[in-house]
């Protein structure tokens, strides 16, 4: 039985786990979401502990003809943007990046147990293929999938689609917790807070950015992202009252 069929059989169990798990973060879609819940969901991805085996490592072409490279510690392609990081048979922290990934922490763990590949790095070829470059045998989360989960959207919306769900802010100084910094068809970050009164640096969650292929939380320079063409956005359905 291949991994995809195995996963189909596990869907009901995974759905129940996401609704009734002890941490109860509620990843189901919603018409609105509070800033507090957005950050709680993001932190769950950032702190998630998981135990892979050698079965979750893969470097090659999957059953669907998609090239997959898991970001395990042995991965160190000189042509890649950065090396792999996670260790088999060891507890790792932070859900790994996967091109096209849209897993919750619960579904990620379910897929790990079923032998899915833990993560799949970005490549220019995947960017060219877009959805056709997504492996059905991998598990993890990508940058826009991460934002979509934090905003409790019904599916994974791409960086090209997220602005349509949002209001663009007139300046980065207007950013509030749970807003995003987005560059269409490139990448997106989840804003946490400013780190100075001048609004020059901010704390953000993001997925797949250097130095590691995983969900990160780190300081970012406003001038840096502005220089790259990123823009600030606010989800239209953020709850008005916390």
Mean pLDDT for all residues in the chain: 90
Give per-residue pLDDT as tens, 46-83. Answer: 999 999 999 999 999 999 999 999 999 999 887 777 89
The CA distances from residue 148 to 40, 180, 202, 241, in Å, are 14, 11, 21, 21
**Nearest-angstrom CA–CA distance, 68 and 61:** 6
State the CB neighbour count (10 A cutoff) for residue 52: 22
State the pLDDT at residue 8.
46
Report CA dihedral (220, 222, 223, 228) to the nearest 10 degrees: 80
State the pLDDT at residue 77.
81
Give per-residue pLDDT as tens, 196-208. Answer: 999 999 999 999 9
Helix pair angle (143-150, 35-47), 10° resolution = 130
State the pLDDT at residue 112.
98
pLDDT at 13 > cutoff 50: no
pTM greater than 0.85: yes
Give per-residue pLDDT as tens, 125-182. Answer: 999 999 999 999 999 999 999 999 999 999 999 999 999 999 999 999 999 999 999 9
**Nearest-angstrom CA–CA distance, 209 and 212:** 6
Give per-residue pLDDT as tens, 25-42. Answer: 678 887 899 999 999 999
State the pLDDT at residue 16.
35
């Amino acid at each position: 039985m291949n991994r995809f069929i195995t996963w189909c059989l596990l869907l009901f169990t995974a759905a129940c786990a996401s609704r009734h798990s002890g941490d109860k973060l509620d990843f189901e879609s919603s018409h609105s979401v509070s800033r507090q819940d957005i950050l709680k969901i993001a932190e769950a991805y950032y702190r998630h502990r998981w135990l892979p085996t050698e079965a979750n490592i893969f470097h090659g072409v999957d059953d669907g003809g998609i090239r997959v490279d898991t970001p395990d510690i042995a991965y160190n392609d000189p042509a890649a943007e950065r090396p792999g990081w996670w260790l088999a048979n060891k507890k790792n922290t932070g859900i790994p990046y996967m091109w096209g990934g849209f897993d919750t922490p619960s579904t990620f763990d379910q897929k790990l147990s079923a032998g899915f590949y833990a993560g799949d790095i970005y490549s220019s070829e995947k960017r060219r293929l877009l959805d056709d470059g997504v492996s059905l045998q991998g598990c993890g989360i990508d940058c826009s999938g991460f934002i979509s989960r934090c905003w409790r959207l019904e599916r994974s919306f791409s960086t090209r689609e997220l602005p349509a769900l949002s209001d663009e802010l007139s300046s980065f100084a207007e950013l509030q917790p749970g807003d995003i910094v987005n560059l269409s068809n490139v990448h997106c970050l989840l804003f946490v807070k400013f780190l100075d009164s001048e609004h020059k640096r901010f704390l953000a969650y993001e997925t797949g950015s250097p130095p590691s292929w995983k969900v990160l939380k780190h300081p970012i320079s406003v001038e840096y992202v502005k220089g790259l063409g990123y823009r600030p956005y606010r989800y239209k359905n953020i709850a008005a009252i916390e």
